[in-house]
């Protein structure tokens, strides 16, 4: 079990540029989540995938944000025309597909800094 991995770990970009992050979940986990964490706050839910289907998106996910999970394995999160307010830690988590509540396991995160 290699755990959830994320790439890159750090990204510095200029305002207006596009960025893309990748998440590789634990291999047998069907559910994949993206969260965002800003300084001094807890993580906030952005979106969730069941296999390749994106089933829910938070109001936090503006139209500049898009996420995909094309083959139900890894996922990408793209931010277009980045703004300074996008600076945050972007966290990916995965969990097995169980009927009852289950534990989510997080990756190390991608720290985005928008200059």
Binding site for other proteins (CB under 8 A): 4, 6, 31, 33, 35, 40-45, 48, 50, 55-56, 91, 93, 95, 100-109, 111
Query: In this complex, which beta carbon is closest to other proteins, that of residue 60 or of residue 81?
Result: 60
Minimum CB–partner distance for residue 25 and other proteins (Å): 12
Query: In this complex, which beta carbon is closest to other proteins, that of residue 11 or of residue 31?
Result: 31
Query: In this complex, which beta carbon is closest to other proteins, that of residue 80 or of residue 105?
Result: 105
Decide: helix, strand or coil at residue 109. Answer: coil
CB 93 within 8 A of CB 5: no
Residue with tokens 């139900």: 72
Strand partners, 79: 19, 65
Residue with tokens 């097995």: 96
Strand partners, 37: 89
Minimum CB–partner distance for residue 16 and other proteins (Å): 26
């Amino acid at each position: 079990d290699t755990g959830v991995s994320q790439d890159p770990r750090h990204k510095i970009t200029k305002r207006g540029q596009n960025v893309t992050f990748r998440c590789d979940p634990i291999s047998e986990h069907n559910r994949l989540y993206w969260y965002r964490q800003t300084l001094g706050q807890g993580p906030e839910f952005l979106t969730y995938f069941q296999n390749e289907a994106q089933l829910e998106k938070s109001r936090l996910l503006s139209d500049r944000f898009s996420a995909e999970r094309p083959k139900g394995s890894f996922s990408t999160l793209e931010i277009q025309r980045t703004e300074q307010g996008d600076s945050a830690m972007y966290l990916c988590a995965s969990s097995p597909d169980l009927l009852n509540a289950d534990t989510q396991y997080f990756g190390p995160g991608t720290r985005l800094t928008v200059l």
